Each structure stands twice: as structure tokens, then as C-alpha cells.
Structure 1
Amino acid sequence: MAKIIGAILGFMVGGPLLALLGFVVGTFFDRGLGQAMRFNYGAERERVQGVFFDTVFRVMGHIAKADGRVCESEVAQAEAIISQLGLTGARRQDAINKFKEGSDSSFKLEPQMSDFMQVAKSQTLLRQMLLEALLTMALADGEMASAERDIVTLVAKYLGMPAAEFQRLIDMVMAQRQFHSGGSAQSNSGLELKKAYQAIGVDDSISDAELKRAYRKLMSQHHPDKLIAKGVPEDMLKIATEKAQEIQAAYDLIKKSRGS
């Protein structure tokens, strides 16, 4: 269709020569449109989701092996996370298999991250969600060993995240954990409020309007529909949902302290 329109317009503007040029340009347009219409976005999203899932559990296994061996408590921790995500049947077994692959001495982090970056190179949110998932898992026992931190730091470098931004993300995730299940951070109200600001990623001198913008941005980043569209598997959304609840609890505390 485009090649016919191009030929007609070309003839009207400049005669037979431009008509031929319009026909050629229109032909290329038709080809491009046809390719776009044939592109299977559902299949591409499934591919991204698969790479995200594989990367999370392989790197999780790699983190568990960070100290040289995978101990029983780390296996139990991994199984608890898998159960927490609600993975059952074949999906659960797939997660366990990927964890074992990552904990194997033959596993190489760089090729796995290269595969991930092929699907997430232009997806800032997807890269951030990967780091949040890994940090959440690494902190599942309440602390992150130096060897575990080294691996997650290396992952952040592969993802192209600057060191200062990565440290800020760590501080936020650790502070958000203090508000897990809507709970408060500490009995000391001053420390509790400090953690709340860290959970939102802002300073306590921020204005009410800026605070609201920062809060809304975080909640938007953790919205299920947006994450699914970006390629986060549906069965991994529980991490984002819990993050949103922690952010909400921290924000509510700040608002209460400001009398708003």
C-alpha cells in the first residue's frame, strides 16, 4: 500500500523519476511494517521473563557459594524464598535446578550477566528489579556477608550501575526491611524515622511535595502491571509487592511525623 501511495505522490510532485523513487521508498516501508506486524511481543516477553528468572536463581546459587561451599542453612534459606514466592511443581523444580547450577564450581557469572544484558540493556527498571531481588535474597537471613556483597556489587557493575547509586540502593533495601509487613523500624522513634527516610531514598530536609514525588516514583516502579510489561515473571512479583508495602509503611510514618 505504501509503495503505491509513494509512487502516486512522487509522480504528482516530480513526474516519472520521483514516482519510481516513491515506489522504492514505499516498498521498504511496507516491508518494515510487515515485520513489525509479524513481531510476536508475547513471545519476546516470555523470553525476557525466562532470562530474568534464570539469572535470579543462578546468581542466588552463586551468592550462596560465595564463601566456598553451600551450607545447609543456605539451602534452607533458598527453599524458604522459593516457597515464599509461591513456586510449586515444575516451576519450583526449575528454580531449584537453576540454584544448583549457580552454586556449581563451573558456573561463570559473566556469561549469565551477558545473557541478561541482551534483554535488559535498555530496561533500567528491569536491571534495578534484578538487583532488588538479589539484595532481598542476600539479606533474607538479616545480614549480608562480605563475600555475598562482593558478588552483588559485581552484578551491579555488569549492569552499569554507578557505585554511589548502588550503595544508595543497598541503603534503601536494608532500611525498607525494617518496615517488613508494615512494621516499624525500631522502638527508638528518632532512629525509626531516620530509617523511614532512608527507605524512601530521601533526606529529612526534603519538602512535602518532593517527598510525595519520590514516594510515587517508587510505588510506580513496583507496580505489578509495569513490571510484567518490562519482563518480570509474574511469580517473582511478590518481592515487588512486599517492597511496595514496606515503602508505604515508611511513607506513612514520615507523613505522621510531619502532621500530614
Structure 2
Amino acid sequence: MNILTSLNTLLQGIPAGSRATLDAIFESIRAIFGGDRDTRKRVAFGVAVIALSAKMAKADGIVSPREVTAFQEILEIPPEELRNVFRLYDIAKQDIAGFDTYAMRLKGLCREEGETCELLTDVLDGLFHIAKADGLVHERELEFLAEVARIFGLSETEFTDVKNRHILGPSNPYAVLGLDPDAAPSETRARYLTLVRENHPDRLAARGVPDEFMFIATERMKAINNAYSQIAGKTAA
């Protein structure tokens, strides 16, 4: 089932104008998609990206046009589905529950599935893409992202790897690959191949990332490939 169709099904159960809450949304996911584990996981992922994006915008206090564009890049939204997606976005902004509640609920769903849930890193990746869209990850946004990572149970190293890929980017290819600047070419090559294997879009699809969110995987691979190309080019020179 297409995730946007699934979101439409989910929102149909919430009367227009009602003050829907986080608990109501996640209970609806459980009730509607309880017999379909794969769809349940994909819808939970989609809701998390949309809702946490809304909470991050509220925490920062400013939603720039570039951030809205970045949000729409992550989730390729057909015109007929815009209303549903932004309705969910507004529900999350208005919900009195804090972003930590959203993050903990998503982590709880992963635990119920008996998984380590690498999807949580993918959610964080998507949030970083939105945060940096205006050219700078602001202090409040970085604090928000660090706390989300902590709630998700990511290590400081895992958080730093995601942060470096988005913030340092072309300026520090070694940091993007998680390497010391004096790493040997053989170590660099081995690290690169490991990251390619771990972050290939097919692997993300296998762990439940919806097709509509494959932009995350594509951008991640671009950063990894660009970093390796820079290092290999310096070595060859």
C-alpha cells in the first residue's frame, strides 16, 4: 500500500477540526494496520518524519520557504495528497505533547517489533536535511536533533556521523566517512565500501523505509560518494 494512501486512510478516522493527539494517531496506526506489519512500520516512519519536522519547526520558531521545500523533497507529495500531509503536520504542531513524546513513541514501536530499528537513524537523517535547508543548522535545531538522537538510543558516535555528513559535507570528506585525515588509502577504500553496503537504497527499502522517502538514501549516498571522490582525488594527485 502506498504510504500516502495509508496516511489518507489514517486521517479519515480523525474528524476535521478535532484536536487530534499523538496517542490517537499512533493508536489508529495500530488499529488500522495491526495485521500488516510492513505497512504499519512504513506508516509509523512517515508519521514520525512529518510530526517531528513540525515539532522542530515549532522549537526553532521559524519555518523558512527552503525548509518547506526540503520537507517536500524528502516526501514527494502529489498535489492531491498535500492537504492530508500538511493536516498531519498541523496536528503535530498543535498537539500539546512535546517532541520527546513523539520520539519515545516511535522508539517504542520499534521495540514492539523486536528490532534494533535502524529506521530511527533514517528519521534523524531526514530531520537534518530539513534543518540545514536554510544554509545553517541553528543552535536550537541542533539541540533538538541531539535530544531526538538520545531518545532514539543512538550513540554519540552515531549522532556525530550523521551530523558531520550534513554540516561538514564537502569541507571535510574524512569526517563524512568517519576517518582520521591520516587514514591510509586502503583503510579509506575499505571504509567507503562498508558505508556503500550499509547505506545502499535497497538496504533501506528492506528495513522498511517507504519508497517516497528514498530521497534520504539518495542524498546519503551522494555525500558518501562525494567524500570518497575528494579523498581519492587528493591521493592520486
Asked if 1:224 is matched to 2:201, the reply is yes
In the alignment, what sits opposite 2:227? 250
- Other structure's SS at 2:77 match: coil
In the alignment, what sits opposite 1:50? 43
1:77 partner letter: R
Q: Are 1:200 and 1:247, in contact at CA under 8 Å, matched by a contact in 2? A: yes
Asked if 1:60 is matched to 2:53, the reply is yes
- Other structure's SS at 1:66 match: helix
Pairing partner for 1:81 from 67, 70, 83: 70
Deviations 1:94-149 (A, max 9, x none): 33223222322513223322331134343352121111111111111111122111
Pairing partner for 1:171 from 152, 164, 168: 164
Pairing partner for 1:236 from 213, 216, 227: 213
Asked if 1:109 is matched to 2:109, the reply is no
Q: Are 2:174 and 2:181, in contact at CA under 8 Å, matched by a contact in 1? A: yes
Deviations 1:68-106 (A, max 9, x none): x4x4xx152343124324211454333322322232251
Q: Are 1:197 and 1:203, in contact at CA under 8 Å, matched by a contact in 2? A: yes
Give the Cα separation in 1 of the matches to 2:230 and 2:161: 20
Superposition pairs of residues 1-260 of structure 1, within 5 angstroms = 43-67=36-60, 69=61, 71=62, 74=63, 76-85=65-74, 86-104=76-94, 106-121=96-111, 122-176=115-169, 185=170, 192=171, 195-259=172-236
Alpha-carbon shift at residue 165 of structure 1 (Å): 3.5
TM-score by length of 2: 0.75
Give the Cα separation in 1 of the matches to 2:157 and 2:88: 30
Deviations 1:214-238 (A, max 9, x none): 2122222321221111111111111
Larger RCO of the pair (alpha carbons < 8 Å, separation 6+): 2
Q: Which runs of 5 or more structure 2 residues have no equivalent in the other structure? A: 1-32
Counting matched residue pairs gives 201
Residue 87 and residue 246 in structure 1: after superposition, are their counterparts in 2 closer, same or farther (change >3 A)? same
Q: Which runs of 5 or more structure 1 residues have no equivalent in the other structure? A: 1-39, 177-184, 186-191
1:112 partner letter: Y
Residue 254 and residue 200 in structure 1: after superposition, are their counterparts in 2 closer, same or farther (change >3 A)? same
Mark the structure with the bigger radius of gyration: 1
Could you tell me the percent identity over the aligned residues? 21
The ranges of structure 1 where at least 4 consecutive aligned residues each deviate by more than 4 angstroms after the TM superposition are none
Q: Are 1:222 and 1:241, in contact at CA under 8 Å, matched by a contact in 2? A: no
- Other structure's SS at 1:139 match: helix
Q: Are 1:54 and 1:95, in contact at CA under 8 Å, matched by a contact in 2? A: no
Q: Are 1:196 and 1:254, in contact at CA under 8 Å, matched by a contact in 2? A: yes
Task: Please report the RMSD computed on the Cα atoms of aligned residues, expressed in angstroms.
Answer: 2.5
- Which stretch shifts more, 148-157 or 96-105? 96-105
Give the Cα separation in 2 of the matches to 1:207 and 1:42: 50
In the alignment, what sits opposite 1:12? none
1:87 partner letter: I
- Which stretch shifts more, 110-119 or 249-258? 110-119
Q: Are 2:70 and 2:129, in contact at CA under 8 Å, matched by a contact in 1? A: no
